[in-house]
Structure 1
Amino acid sequence: MVNSTSFLLLLSLLTFVPSCLCSTKFGGYLYPQFYDYSCPRAQEIVKSILANAVANEPRIAASLLRLHFHDCFVKGCDASILLDSSGSITSEKGSNPNRNSARGFEVIDEIKSTLEKECPHTVSCADILALSARDSTVLTGGPSWEVPLGRRDSRGASIKGSNNNIAAPNNTFQTILTKFNLQGLDIVDLVALSGSHTIGNSRCTSFRQMLYSQTGNAKVEFTLDQYYAAELRNLCPRSGGDQNLFVLDYVTPTKFDNNYFKNLLAYKGLLSSDEVLLSKNQESAELVKQYAENNDLFFQQFAKSMIKMGNISPLTGPRGEIRKNCRKINT
């Protein structure tokens, strides 16, 4: 027999669940209001600290957005990327996709420290990453979305998963799509999420193969605009300068917009993994054209795909923990 109070509670849960966007096979749910009572200022604190960080260094927005990507593609969105090496843990920070390029950890540390003072042992590092990705997008002019919350933090990392699961700049289109499919993401998500390259930088070592053929001569990849390639080669030589940085979107490098897709149509995508969206698959090429023509459409789909990505295998309920320090597991 269900009393009236229990019935009302059950009814409210049933009407709320569909908007939570994520139910796990273990029965846990992520939902935007998760901290409304336990830490009501959580989202305000995250955004405030991020606003200062982005104002001081606009590039940090792209770095934090990238951290969330690289976290979710390895064991799910569980903040495993934030763990330093210790004991039996080999940090994902040393993997090929992250070594010398993953950054923004100090900003996450500052957010976590502030939240621990505000509401101790409450807000997970995984949720901080998800909120930071959303706020970094908004602070650079991109779309906003309600972030489903309630993730818990992993007690381990996977450098093997980091090396294998994250798409590399020189992967073929099919390899990249397969890596997305394995995470439950489809071709629409792939193209929309690639639009995050509208902000941020990439190193010379990540796109050198676009500028020089494998035989070592100066033949430029045929899908790249020749004048653009010539400019890139000035600061990205055949050897050396591996860490030299280049903006991913040369038109509006610190503004989140659809110029990334317009650049692709002009054959001025910096990475091979960008160019293949236009040159290797008809469906993805059509999506590139649609997003280049319609910024609102891109923003809408990017928000949907970010929510979907943020729902990859979260730890909920009794699984995982709420780390006191995002760099190490609780003792």
Structure 2
Amino acid sequence: MSYDSYLDICLAKYQNPDRTKTEVKEVMSAFQDFRPKFEEFKTSPDETKLLLHLHGTVPAIWKGNTYNTPIAVWISDEHPNTAPTVFVTASTSIIPKWYMDINGKVYTGYIKQWNQNSSLLELISDLVEVFGQTIPLSHYISSSDDRSKSIEDLQLSNYKDPEKTKRDALRITEFFSDIRVLFGEQNFPDGTKKQKLSLSGTVPVEFQDSMDTIPLFISLMEQHPGEAPNVSVKPASNMVVNEKCAYVDQTGLVKTPYLTGWKHPNSDLVGLLQDLIVKFGKMPPLLKKTSATVNILQGTCCPGSSNSYPNNGSVPGRPPHEGNSYNTATDDARK
């Protein structure tokens, strides 16, 4: 059976079968390893639909090399009125990004702004550009990356297991490419200063069918991995801590059952971030500042307080502030 006949049968119940068929053939002509397939797609926990999807690889140039990322583009039966659903289909090594969640579901700007003038070919071309900016699969990241050497060179003499601590930090940067490793002094409530290895960056979170990123600061304790890290969210100037989020206090300090029940080797940093992605996907820890939240920022939610955010140095694990001395172990690798 020819692809023409196959597509005619598969698209028989689509609202606009002719246009959909034309766009599918355009993709197959431009990206010749893409093929159509007609299968069940789970549109909700209790509902499935028979939909056409295109599966193939997106060639993207990253750091001078071409990498082919496998994807599946599920085409709605309301196409082009409804945006396709796109997944990176690798079974392992997916790195959550600003455009992709931990399950591989893709949310690029092109998909979010999809309209009747959008097309499948333009979508794939957009993915080529996006994947070329930041690759979605961790096994494409070389183990000889400069980032690895920078972290390995750190001297963690105050840590119980410095090599394990460095390996764990490096692993996080491989899975979450926006996260940097920091090393330097942190101020503690008792007035002491300690050299700490920390992780700073964002993790992707899906909330109400929209992808966003949550800025985090993670301070690794000297007994790592035997002791849970200190974790806090880092609200930008246009953000406020969400009082309705049960997992974050007013200072931004994160407290979850995963952290309070930390027990190595069952608990680790990757598992911690995966847990936060799930929990923050149900209730985000930060909100965009609006007139409704300005009173919180002014401290009126806390009687006797002039500011809802204490000095960062007064809370273990808070982000560094002016006066703290930090070296960025991964900066060179990210330039």
TM-score (ref. length: structure 2): 0.26
Larger Rg: 2
Please state which structure has a larger fraction of its residues in helix: 1
Please state which structure has a larger fraction of its residues in strand: 2
